[in-house]
Structure 1
Amino acid sequence: MIDLPAAFDLFADRMMRVIYFDMQRYFVAAGLFTIALLVFRSWAQRKRIQNRRAARKDYTREIASSLHTSFIFALTTFLTLALREVGLVKLKIETFTIVTVAWQLVLMIVAHDAYFYWMHRALHHRRLFRTTHLHHHKSRTPTPWTAYSFSSWEAVTEALFIPLFMLATSTMGFAMTGLAVFLFLWHMIVRNVIGHLGVELYPAGWVDNRWVGWWNTTTHHDLHHSSGNTNFGLYFTWWDRWMGTEHPRYREEFRKVTARTRKAMREKESAGGAAPA
């Protein structure tokens, strides 16, 4: 016979742990980047992508909905752990090699980039957008706190990647390592926050370099928020290039932002012009 009070206590304890983990990732990543933008304010001012500024109500909405998203993400984390308990998901916690962690991390990132592109593009369909994705696009001018600002429906579709991926790899006969999943989750939130900084973090020439030009910049995702129906990718530009959904002025806008210098900013301010924001 199941001891219901003990089972409930176990569920509550594990649930609180995963909620804490998801909220911690969000607040650490968004908080540290926010502090960095304040500390390096002069540099950040030159590298701002949009003229618009997020208002206080935007920050309030983003943080509130992100707390809600963290709870939904925690539920899917708990679901994944439950699937492991019943043997449907293979997850190795104790033994692993660095090589195994490395290739599994790369596999998970590449798979998530593909999942995100097609899921994201589907949410922009006119029959789904208002119900699922409109809430996220209320942040026309993204901030680090926009990263988890989703409606409940979008949060569910975002979060489903982990259990679906784990079920797929387990069905194929190999177990993911706990460290690879842990590193992936941190990579995901850091890249997500970078995409919503509102300030171009990457250096001039990045988009024109064949070795790194396929790696998404802040401008890439910022254009998605400001223009709407282009640049659906999360980590890489591959899918947008292959499917013809990359913003036609992406590289031009990136070059424009990264070309700004302190001297040019001072000259414009002294001439009476407003500093580009």
Structure 2
Amino acid sequence: MSLPENLPLFDKIAEHMLDVMYFDLFRYIVTASVMFAIIVIFKGWAERRRIQERRAKREDYLREISSSIRTVFFFGITTLSTLFLREAGIIRFHFDSFPIAIMLLQAVAMILAHDTYFYWMHRALHTRALYQATHLHHHKSRTPTPWTAYSFSVWEAIAEAAFVPLYLLATSLLGVAYIGMAILVFIWFQIIRNVMGHAGVEVMPAGWVDNKWVGWINTTTHHDLHHSTFNHNFGLYFTWWDRWMGTEHPQYKERFRAVAKPLVVSPRLAEKLSVVMMAGLASTVTLSGGLASMVA
């Protein structure tokens, strides 16, 4: 397929390639920083809910942050490629006016599709043929921290980033023009859930795994057990695939109950929490608005 001679959007994005990289980098930094700040500021709460006795070391933090910067580069390349394919008419998405209900439906569909993609991609990376070259680097973080979220090898970063263009290509071939805001909702949901899964302390409330309405949503303990045992809990957002495929850790609920202590919220604690969350929300809105205006 020949590409159009004039690609104004691609030219615009190419000129601002660093802006695209900054968006992915600061999305990671803001989310990981908010989670890290919560753990530091609410130290008593975090210590009561710490999943492992083992602690990450200084070299672990340095490795995670440096490799995450590398991951951001490949994510940025994927963003540029996706925008180029959009301008070429191969991928369809827009930021025009849209019904909120349709946008939310598309975001949910993308999240469900990504959960499936991630589970099977993740299991593939654990095979003997691929593990050492792709996923071993991520598992060097035996005790995860919020900064582990993007700590990937080059090949895993590419596999992780491939989902968005592949998904949008599939929906475009089916005649679905995706709403750009649905994609933004998805990518923020993805990084927030990813950081939560690597927090090292359980963030979900007591009783979560025993509640039929939310028990199928993954907890920090769920993914933390994957880092400490390697052969269980491959899912990202939900427990469905692990349950269906028999890969859920047999002691998952027991381990969760042991660390998920009830939260007692004092006025001082509530004040600290509101400040941290408002700072994170303000950063999220600013960064998302900047990207949307750039590609609209």
TM-score by length of 1: 0.90
Distance 2:217 2:112 in 1: 12
Are the aligned partners of 2:10 and 2:84 in contact in 1 as well (CA < 8 Å)?
no
Distance 2:169 2:121 in 1: 18
Note the alpha carbon deviations across 1:11-68, whole angstroms, 9 max, x for none.
5423212101100100000001111111100000000000100000000000000000
Are the aligned partners of 2:48 and 2:261 in contact in 1 as well (CA < 8 Å)?
no
Query: Cα distance, 1:259 vs. partner?
Result: 4.1
TM-score by length of 2: 0.84
Query: Cα distance, 1:81 vs. partner?
Result: 0.3
Find the counterpart in structure 1 of residue 154 from structure 2.
152
2:82 pairs, out of 76, 80, 83, with 80
Distance 1:249 1:7 in 2: 51
Letter in 2 for 1:116: F
Distance 2:46 2:170 in 1: 42
Are the aligned partners of 1:105 and 1:181 in contact in 2 as well (CA < 8 Å)?
yes
Select the structure of larger CA radius of gyration. Answer: 1
Q: 1:89 to 1:222 in 2, by over 3 A?
A: same
Gaps of 5+ in 1: 263-277
Gaps of 5+ in 2: 265-296
Aligned residues: 259
Note the alpha carbon deviations across 1:231-274, whole angstroms, 9 max, x for none.
00000000000000000000010011114899xxxxxxxxxxxx
Are the aligned partners of 2:10 and 2:87 in contact in 1 as well (CA < 8 Å)?
no
Find the counterpart in structure 1 of residue 226 from structure 2.
224
Note the alpha carbon deviations across 1:116-166, whole angstroms, 9 max, x for none.
000000000011000000000000000000000000000000000000000
Find the counterpart in structure 2 of residue 28 from structure 1.
30
Query: Cα distance, 1:95 vs. partner?
Result: 2.0
Distance 1:90 1:14 in 2: 21
- Give the aligned CA root-mean-square deviation in angstroms: 1.8
Find the counterpart in structure 1 of residue 175 from structure 2.
173
Distance 1:9 1:103 in 2: 32
Find the counterpart in structure 2 of residue 41 from structure 1.
43
Find the counterpart in structure 2 of residue 253 from structure 1.
255
Identity %: 60
